[in-house]
């Protein structure tokens, strides 16, 4: 449930962007002008996002912020990186060589130690509580930047398990901005046209449908008619790109480079989706909630992140895409320095790390530090709200002025008490 406002809100993206472009409040122009201005702005913005989400919480101590030889340090060593003086866990040797392309924050300090509430809080950028349900990062970006000229769905979520259309991510923006989820990296259901419908018949039936829709739409407010046609357009765009969803067709050597595991193959799929023009791709890896046997679990899992993200960074660089694709690797929190009785680490929002690269981000930065035993932040602490400001800024969105419209209620896109972090911006 969300307290979403009037029926106008669903198509407010265009109005907001239209008004942003013109530097004035929406409403002064005819709707046609707003549409044109919004489309131009959206097409002018070629920025895209890949969010790699390590659900359950990756341990910062076994990855970005190792504390070898200390009370809570655990069994793994740290290794030097391509940044002088900076070490990371030995579980990520490939990323260590690519640290000069990354920006890492080691002083994340957030509020919520629970998965059920922590995941949505972080994915929404934890804005000030106004009694409304904010969109997730993907839905928000889809709303703010719209689809790219590819017309592919702007927000695709690659995840293990079931797929579908996940409208709950959209919050008050309305289901239109939800995620197209590719469960197990597989394409959506009913994407294949049965052989009984020939190309000619298919063309005919859609032409007729559109003709009926045009006639129905004449003289009406555009919202309902646009929505009714939009989903069929999107369905047809997806069909034209059916090969995109099948990584099996790629050369074995490429698949090997990302790793023959779920995260590797899903990251490869994400790269293809981004290249094809999806605005925002989220790749989720589950199973990071290592309350028991933390060290063996991380020994298996962290190298997969290392392999997949390294292959991705190389590909983005080779293709000249680093300038316009923002990559973020994070979870809802880190893990406790204290090792529990089951040789596990528990939830730890008090001092954790995340990483980013690409579009608008200053490479080779390690921001902030934790105490020698890792129990708390020992520098300025950063909340997720400041990171959302930073990422929106990197994407060319003025995070302190742009607003969502929840019906008639304007809402800041990121926490109004926070700002972008200049050290992270190129």
Partner 1 sequence: MLTVVSAMASADENPLHRRINQLLPTTAAPADDATFLRRVFLDLAGRIPSVTEAKQFLNDTSPERRKQLIDRLLDSRDYPRRMQEAFHIMLLERRGDHQEWSRFLRDSFEQNRPWDEMVRLLLKPAADDESARGAAWFQTSRLVKEGAMADVDVPGLTRDVGRLLAGVDLGCAQCHDDLVISDYLQQDFQGLQMVFENVVVRTDVGFPAVGEKLLTAPRAFSSVFEQIPRQTAIRVPGAAEVALQTFAEGEEYTVPPDRKSKFPGEPKFSPLQQVAEHLTARENRLFAANLVNRVWFLMLGKGLVWPLDMHHSGNPSQHPQLHDLLGQEFTAHDFDLKWLLREIALTDVYQSDSTPSDPSVPVSVADLSEKRISAESLFWSVLIALEQLDPSDTERSLEQQLAESQPLQELQKQFLKVFANAPKEPELLFEPTVAAALFVMHDEQVLGLLDAESSPLPGRLSQLEDAAEVVQQASLQIYSRPATEVETAELVELLQTAAADQRSETISQLIWAMLASTEFCVNH
d(CA 158, CA 52): 10
Please identify which residue in 97, 225, 400, 419 interacts with partner 1, judged by CB under 8 A: 225
- Quick one: which segment of 82-90, 205-213, 252-260, 271-279 binds partner 1 (CB under 8 A)? 205-213
- The answer to whether 215 contacts partner 1 (rule: CB under 8 A) is yes
Q: Is 206 in the site for partner 1 (CB under 8 A)?
A: yes
Q: Which of 71, 77, 211, 240 binds partner 1 (CB under 8 A)?
A: 211
Nearer to partner 1, 28 or 80 (CB): 28
CB 236 within 8 A of CB 193: no
Whole-angstrom Cα distance, residue 295 to residue 293? 6
- Which residues from 156-195 bind partner 1, rule CB under 8 A? 164-168, 174-176, 180, 188-194
Q: For partner 1, which is the closer residue by CB, 138 or 420?
A: 138
Q: Contact, 242 vs 188, CB < 8 A?
A: no
Per DSSP, 424 falls in state G
Q: Closest separation between CB of residue 6 and partner 1, Å?
A: 6
Tokens of 393: 């800024």
Applying CB under 8 A, among 71, 209, 240, 338 the residue interacting with partner 1 is 209
7 lies in the binding site for partner 1 (CB under 8 A): yes
Instruction: Give whichever of 33 and 426 is closer to partner 1, judged by the CB atom.
Output: 33
How many residues contact partner 1, by CB under 8 A?
A: 62
Measured between alpha carbons, how far is 185 from 159 in angstroms, rounded to an integer?
6
Contact between 407 and partner 1 by CB under 8 A: the answer reads yes
Q: How far is CA 13 from the centre of its chain?
A: 19
Least distance CB 170 / partner 1 (angstroms):
10
User: Binding of partner 1 at residue 220 (CB under 8 A)?
Assistant: yes
Residues 403 and 412: their CA atoms lie apart, in Å, by: 5
Smallest separation (angstroms) from partner 1 to the CB of 139: 14
Contact 43, 58 (CB under 8 A): no
Nearer of residues 1 and 253 to partner 1, judged by Cβ: 1
Q: How far is the CB of 400 from partner 1 (least distance, A)?
A: 21
Which SS3 state, helix, strand or coil, does residue 303 take?
A: helix
Tell me if 281 sits within 8 A of 270, measured CB to CB. yes
Q: Kindly list the distances between the CA atom of residue 406 and the CA atoms of 7, 20, 28, 171, 204, in Å, as whole numbers in the listed order.
A: 10, 16, 19, 10, 39
β-bridge partners, 354: 105
**CA gap 160, 304 in Å, rounded:** 15
What number of CA atoms fall less than 13 Å from residue 73's CA on the CB side? 16
Does 44 help bind partner 1 (rule: CB under 8 A)? no
Q: Does residue 224 bind partner 1 (CB under 8 A)?
A: yes
Task: Note whether 25 binds partner 1 by CB under 8 A.
Answer: no
Identify the bridge partners of residue 155 per DSSP, sorted by sequence position: 280
Verify binding: residue 234, partner 1, rule CB under 8 A. yes
Least CB distance to partner 1 at residue 167 (A)? 6
- Is residue 6 near partner 1 by the rule CB under 8 A? yes
CB-CB contact of 398 with 41 (8 Å): no
Q: Which alpha helices (H) appear in 259-293, and where do they start and end?
A: 262-276
Binding site for partner 1 (CB under 8 A): 1, 3-8, 10, 30-31, 115-116, 129-131, 153, 164-168, 174-176, 180, 188-194, 196-197, 201, 204-206, 208-209, 211-213, 215-217, 219-222, 224-225, 227-232, 234-235, 238, 407
């Amino acid at each position: 449930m969300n307290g979403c406002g009037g029926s106008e809100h669903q198509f407010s993206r265009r109005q907001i962007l239209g008004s942003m472009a013109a530097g004035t409040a929406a409403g002064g122009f005819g709707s046609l002008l707003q549409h044109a201005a919004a489309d131009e702005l959206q097409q002018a913005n070629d920025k895209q996002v890949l969010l790699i989400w390590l659900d359950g919480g990756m341990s910062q101590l076994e990855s970005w912020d190792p504390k070898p030889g200390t009370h809570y340090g655990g069994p793994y060593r740290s290794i030097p990186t391509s940044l002088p003086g900076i070490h990371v866990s030995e579980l990520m040797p490939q990323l260590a060589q690519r640290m000069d392309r990354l920006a890492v924050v080691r002083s994340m300090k957030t509020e919520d130690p629970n998965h059920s509430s922590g995941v949505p809080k972080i994915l929404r950028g934890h804005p000030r509580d106004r009694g409304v349900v904010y969109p997730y990062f993907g839905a928000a970006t889809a709303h703010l930047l719209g689809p790219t000229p590819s017309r592919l769905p702007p927000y695709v979520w690659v995840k293990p398990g079931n797929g579908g259309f996940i409208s709950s991510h959209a919050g008050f923006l309305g289901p239109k901005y939800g995620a197209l989820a590719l469960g197990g990296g597989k394409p959506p259901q009913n994407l294949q046209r049965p052989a009984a419908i020939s190309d000619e018949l298919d063309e005919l039936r859609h032409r007729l449908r559109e003709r009926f829709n045009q006639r129905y739409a004449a003289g009406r407010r555009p919202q309902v008619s646009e929505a009714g046609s939009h989903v069929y357009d999107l369905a047809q765009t997806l069909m034209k790109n059916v090969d995109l969803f099948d990584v099996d067709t790629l050369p074995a050597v490429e698949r090997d480079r990302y790793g023959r595991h779920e995260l590797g193959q899903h990251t490869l799929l994400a790269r293809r989706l981004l290249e094809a023009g999806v605005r925002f791709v989220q790749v989720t890896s589950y199973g990071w909630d290592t309350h028991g046997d933390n060290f063996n679990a991380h020994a298996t899992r962290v190298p997969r992140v290392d392999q997949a993200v390294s292959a991705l960074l190389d590909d983005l660089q080779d293709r000249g895409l680093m300038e316009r694709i923002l990559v973020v690797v994070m979870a809802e929190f880190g893990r406790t320095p204290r090792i529990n009785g089951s040789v596990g680490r528990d939830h730890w929002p008090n001092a954790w790390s995340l990483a980013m690269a690409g579009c608008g981000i200053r490479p080779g930065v390690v921001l902030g530090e934790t105490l020698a035993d890792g129990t708390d932040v020992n520098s300025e602490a950063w909340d997720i709200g400041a990171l959302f400001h930073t990422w929106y800024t990197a994407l060319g969105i003025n995070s302190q002025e742009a607003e969502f419209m929840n019906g008639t209620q304007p809402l800041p896109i990121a926490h109004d008490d926070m700002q972008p972090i200049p050290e992270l911006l190129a």
